[in-house]
Structure 1
């Protein structure tokens, strides 16, 4: 299933640095096998030996009493290993899609940084749930390194180079294979065009009724509590369906960073449920010798298993203009109860609802990847490929490497994300100003609208004016921060 024979071509020296970023192999094959066995045993012992038998085995091994039971090597029998550079994309973007619901239509805007997208359609590696750690920027070099690092500790990336990355300082059994890129986030519109209607439908009540912040009480200066409630009497069959229009994807910004992750694929055989020689494959992250980052794929389940499985889509915010196109009474159990409720309460309520919507769309994106038919994307990528690009000549894949929005992670990512942050702030500020201006027109109480102006806390009409001024400032900063590559033709 996992046999890979593609090796890196030695032809064609790059005319420019590769846009593909990579991390070094820092974990030897021997250490990877040891860690992979630990990971496989952790996940599969209850299956292999039963709940209590698994606990007894683990305790005996931990206490040095392995002579009383089978050895770990006998329970999880090593079969083979392979060192691999695995292709994956990190994606920053702002995009829009039209959508429809029972209450009309709207434009949904998605703001995302540090999302992920498969780099190759080879199954089941296309859904491998290992993610690139963040980039360690030059500004971070002056900061002390923590004694204990987490899986998301920043790491230094470099342009992929054959001499460096295929000949690491650690001992590797056999040659390091490179799985080439053959799909990219740039083919997303093609993927959506071929998606079925069910895939494009999102139920905003899929994870239960939204949380509503109805009241805020000030106990002491600077100390507040918030009272939330949900619609506990929601009909179990009630739905708040939003259907995305497949041909309406509009990309305001899409920065695509191709990354090669160093991975050890380690295969074991084990016995379970009376069957022998069942197969388990463990993908071990090899970019940090001090971390155990792994995912397991085995005969016991249909999908990869990992600790804290990360999502593909990571939304910073989602906005519906002019409003969520489903009846407000479905999302809000108290709609219309208090027509004079304060602006701040409704704004916080909107933020609480948005948080749940983000999670729903992130989960739907994961389903889309898991069930993806990559054939339309593969055809699109081949039709738009740049065969003379240095990356293609080096065997890293046949896609459009010359597209301006294919960006090297090792440079410019900070500026791109600053621009996206300002795009998101402008979007949120627009909604904030629209909300308080609507309240003002409708004669609602705006005395509790507060903000800072020239270092002083202001309220009411002065606060509304200050919010308008801040919005103009954000617009200007957003436009000034626009990366130059966005003005080039994609």
Structure 2
């Protein structure tokens, strides 16, 4: 579980849709969902959700009920009743969990020269919602080992804990994401003043998208306060796959949301992006060349850029226009074996990439530029390197130069070891490539990983 799962997080964007707008016809729903779709069962009952949300809702809506709701949550045997919602709805929301490997080229221009870093790789693990309805469709969510909870969707899941579950159909698919990224203008994307990359050069060498139905309770609390001369609705969104759920609040407007913050005395825990950023979900893991004092700013800039992008709203309308493609090879069933196979391949790819990038940048690392000949690009025996070192010492070099020589020798040893490991790492990556990815590569007439 993540550290933020015990906190209630506030959404102050657009209000949630009314009950009628998110209910769907559940007749023949088993025909509407593809066989690849899995679902996470509801771990909470409706009463459990009310007890869990009670303290948060009462803090923002009816403060006089706060302590009763608090006792009802933590000491249910005492008979206290939590604040009751004006409406409760159980919903299955369609989401996509995404595993992927992205390659491209980063152009880094410094004060002295331009550095082109080839084969930038990003191991992606993130979430994209399968429909467009703010703010629900923009909530980031991904937790480890959820695939162990997922079960194939069946009509029997439409009734749980004595409630009828409403379902939202899929309207967007990440299978079209590569096409949108490449066609978006401008093609040159600026990361910082000195870092940029070409959008058209981005390749998805692996993209596994898992369609999963996420169990959610929507609880609405109507309220009015003197400073806001209108009737308001506080909506609580409870992710119900866990006994200790993550809860989001939607106050409808920024002004009302600010008032909820003040009334709840929990502002530090109710700013969604401050809490979620880098802690409550898995985002882009950007693999840049060997990090040192020179290239570390590049690494930080790329991480910051992708973190901001994954938190921003996707172009839902553009994705919806391209439709849903459940039969696409990259759409995979969210099972333990499938996820494990794909992520083992991603781990092997990350290892290869790290080794290649280390070999590319190591000869240029100032730490290893010693006064000896450049052994990185020459197959010089270690005996000769050691002999040269002894000669330099006899010639009376100062301690700082000896330290530089030692650093150079260490760099040479690491460089050669990594170079010897690369063929083994490449073979391991090829051996771990999932069969579906091999088949798709062959269908495209390519032996190398292809862009999806």
Please, what TM-score do these two structures have when normalized by structure 2?
0.68
Equivalences for residues 320-359 of structure 1 within 5 A: 347-349=291-293, 352-353=296-297, 356-359=300-303
Tell me, in whole angstroms, the C-alpha distance in 2 between the residues paired with 1:256 and 1:195. 21
Q: SS in structure 2 opposite 1:265?
A: strand
Alignment partner, residue 232 of structure 1 = none
C-alpha spacing 1:80/1:478, structure 2 compared with 1 (3 Å): same
C-alpha spacing 1:184/1:351, structure 2 compared with 1 (3 Å): farther
Tell me, in whole angstroms, the C-alpha distance in 2 between the residues paired with 1:305 and 1:79. 25
CA shift at 1:406, angstroms? 0.6
C-alpha spacing 1:292/1:167, structure 2 compared with 1 (3 Å): same
For each residue in 1:32-84, what CA deviation from the matched residue of structure 2 results, as whole angstroms up to 9, or x when unmatched?
A: 22323333345x37xx8xxxxx6x985687689xxxxxx997xx772211110
Tell me, in whole angstroms, the C-alpha distance in 1 between the residues paired with 2:253 and 2:135. 15
1:10 aligns with 2:28: yes
Alignment partner, residue 275 of structure 1 = 229
C-alpha spacing 1:39/1:373, structure 2 compared with 1 (3 Å): same
For each residue in 1:245-290, what CA deviation from the matched residue of structure 2 results, as whole angstroms up to 9, or x when unmatched?
A: 33332111111111111000111112332434211111111112x3
Equivalences for residues 55-454 of structure 1 within 5 A: 78-100=85-107, 102-103=109-110, 104=114, 106-107=117-118, 109-129=120-140, 131-135=141-145, 155-163=148-156, 165-168=157-160, 170-172=161-163, 175-193=164-182, 195=184, 197=186, 200-203=189-192, 240-272=193-225, 273-288=227-242, 290-301=243-254, 306=272, 308-309=275-276, 314-319=283-288, 347-349=291-293, 352-353=296-297, 356-369=300-313, 372-381=314-323, 399-410=324-335, 411-438=337-364, 439=368, 442=374, 445=404, 447-448=406-407
Name which of 431, 447, 450 aligns with 1:480: 431
Tell me, in whole angstroms, the C-alpha distance in 2 between the residues paired with 1:425 and 1:41. 50
Task: Give yes or no for contact 1:92–1:114 (8 Å, CA) kept in 2.
Answer: yes
For each residue in 1:135-168, what CA deviation from the matched residue of structure 2 results, as whole angstroms up to 9, or x when unmatched?
A: 367xxxxxxxxxxxxxxxxx521111122x2122
For each residue in 1:424-461, what CA deviation from the matched residue of structure 2 results, as whole angstroms up to 9, or x when unmatched?
A: 111111122233345576479574479xxxxxxxx564
CA shift at 1:115, angstroms? 1.4
1:469 aligns with 2:420: yes
C-alpha spacing 1:20/1:12, structure 2 compared with 1 (3 Å): closer
Tell me, in whole angstroms, the C-alpha distance in 2 between the residues paired with 1:409 and 1:183. 17
Tell me, in whole angstroms, the C-alpha distance in 1 between the residues paired with 2:199 and 2:412. 42
Tell me, in whole angstroms, the C-alpha distance in 2 between the residues paired with 1:254 and 1:57. 48
Task: Give yes or no for contact 2:53–2:236 (8 Å, CA) kept in 1.
Answer: yes
C-alpha spacing 1:94/1:406, structure 2 compared with 1 (3 Å): same
Task: Give yes or no for contact 2:122–2:285 (8 Å, CA) kept in 1.
Answer: yes
Task: Give yes or no for contact 1:295–1:305 (8 Å, CA) kept in 2.
Answer: no
Gapped runs of 5+ residues in structure 1? 49-53, 65-70, 138-154, 204-239, 321-345, 382-398, 451-458
Task: Give yes or no for contact 2:103–2:122 (8 Å, CA) kept in 1.
Answer: no
For each residue in 1:359-380, what CA deviation from the matched residue of structure 2 results, as whole angstroms up to 9, or x when unmatched?
A: 31233213542xx442221111
Please, what TM-score do these two structures have when normalized by structure 1?
0.64
Tell me, in whole angstroms, the C-alpha distance in 2 between the residues paired with 1:300 and 1:96. 40
Task: Give yes or no for contact 1:268–1:280 (8 Å, CA) kept in 2.
Answer: yes
Task: Give yes or no for contact 1:99–1:106 (8 Å, CA) kept in 2.
Answer: yes
Gapped runs of 5+ residues in structure 2? 1-16, 73-79, 258-269, 377-403, 444-451
For each residue in 1:223-245, what CA deviation from the matched residue of structure 2 results, as whole angstroms up to 9, or x when unmatched?
A: xxxxxxxxxxxxxxxxx253443
C-alpha spacing 1:485/1:465, structure 2 compared with 1 (3 Å): same
CA shift at 1:106, angstroms? 4.9
When structure 1 is superposed on structure 2, of 30-39 and 407-416 the one drifting more is 30-39
C-alpha spacing 1:128/1:465, structure 2 compared with 1 (3 Å): closer
CA shift at 1:182, angstroms? 1.5
C-alpha spacing 1:171/1:308, structure 2 compared with 1 (3 Å): farther
Q: Specify which structure has the higher proportion of helix.
A: 2
Task: Give yes or no for contact 1:128–1:295 (8 Å, CA) kept in 2.
Answer: no
C-alpha spacing 1:126/1:446, structure 2 compared with 1 (3 Å): farther
